[in-house]
Amino acid sequence: MLEKEGYTYLLNELQKFSGSELNTVLLELFRKRAKKITPAELLKHFEKNRFAAPSSVDTITFKEFEIRCLKLAEQKNFTSITLSPLTSFGACSAIGFVDQNNIVSALRGTEVVADATNVFALLIVQGLKRRKNNSVVKYSTTHRHVRGQALSNPAFTAHFGVFCLATGGMDTGNFSFELEHLLEHMHLHFSLLSNEFKEDKLSIKIFLKDDNETFHQKLKRRIIDFSNSVEIKIEREPNPNNYYKLVQFKFYLLYKGEEINLSDGGFVDWTQKLIPNRKHRLIISGTGSELIHKIKKGEL
């Protein structure tokens, strides 16, 4: 686009600016552009902007469901946090494999939160620097995520509610940390989903991300005690995008003859990059709380 408009070097010149210099230029640019917007234009833009449209959820019912999610996590000693709508610029793309074009970038060195678990990683590392011990940290939140990519399915909107969990701590050897907290996340998601749907409509898939046979055998022994009422499949799936490490789980709901993924989680290396310390472990997970709400309302 810049080349087409004859501004071939503009992008390269802007990249030379420091963060504060670029912020000053953009703030002034948007200030001047905002002055030109008429009330009629504002209304027209609002009606067309998919990011500005309100959610279709029943507000009170949905808030009550979010509270149930947080209370369930609290029973497992997860600390609930109300996150800011914004986080530091690059919170997803700098430590994960996310294209910044899928994030709503903002001014003043920020971006709109697209994934609360990335923010959890930053908070866990921040807390680790302040503490003198290596205690396990567990966070939960309900948050409205905003994603930049456009989706064809009208049920999937630019912003949506998610219930997120994260557990961080140091490696304790023999995969004891990994197994304990993987199963804790899975049990929590199962408790949540089985309260909303019939257990025989739920299933779990576990994806093994590497060839560590020791972990695989330990996991198979531990998973036997999970639940007799839900189908569990374990598959080997090398991780092509390097998002999850070691293992990933997904919960599915059989709905109108199709399997719908409701929950997802696994280990990531984000805190290892931030500290950096390869001995630190972080497991994250999330449930599509708004998706669940829409299914129960028959909107999907």
DSSP string, 117-182: HHHHHHHHHHHHHH-SS---EEEEEEEEEE--S--SSTTS-SEEEEEEEEEEEE--STTHHHHHHH
- Convert the pLDDT of each residue in 149-173 to its tens digit: 877 666 678 999 999 999 999 999 9
In the predicted model, is pLDDT for residue 175 greater than 70? yes
Q: What is the pLDDT of residue 6?
A: 59
Is the residue at 1 inside a domain?
no
Q: Which domain holds residue 128?
A: 57-297
* Distance, CA of 183 to CA of 189 (rounded, Å): 10
pTM: 0.92
Q: Which residue has the higher pLDDT, 122 or 97?
A: 122
User: Of 104-113, 130-139, 211-220, which range is least confident?
Assistant: 130-139
Is the residue at 39 inside a domain?
no
Share of the chain above pLDDT 70, in %: 95
- Average per-residue pLDDT in the chain? 91
Q: What is the pLDDT of residue 152?
A: 67
CATH number at residue 179: 3.30.930.10
Is the residue at 67 inside a domain?
yes
Is the residue at 22 inside a domain?
no
Is the residue at 267 inside a domain?
yes
Q: What is the pLDDT of residue 18?
A: 86
Give 213-221 contacts, CB < 8 A, sequence gap 24+. Answer: 214/175, 215/175, 215/178, 215/246, 215/247, 218/174, 218/175, 218/179, 219/179, 219/182, 219/247
- Convert the pLDDT of each residue in 201-212 to its tens digit: 999 999 999 888
Domain count along the chain: 1
Is the residue at 7 inside a domain?
no
Rg of the chain's alpha carbons, rounded to an integer? Answer: 21
Q: Which residue has the higher pLDDT, 141 or 229?
A: 141
In the predicted model, is pLDDT for residue 8 greater than 70? no
In the predicted model, is pLDDT for residue 240 greater than 70? no
In the predicted model, is pLDDT for residue 58 greater than 60? yes
In the predicted model, is pLDDT for residue 242 greater than 80? no
Is the residue at 50 inside a domain?
no
User: Of 5-14, 191-200, 231-240, which range is least confident?
Assistant: 5-14
Is the residue at 48 inside a domain?
no
Share of the chain above pLDDT 90, in %: 74
Q: What is the pLDDT of residue 3?
A: 59
Q: What is the pLDDT of residue 66?
A: 97
Q: What is the pLDDT of residue 16?
A: 84
- Convert the pLDDT of each residue in 250-296 to its tens digit: 999 999 999 999 999 999 999 999 998 999 999 999 999 999 999 99
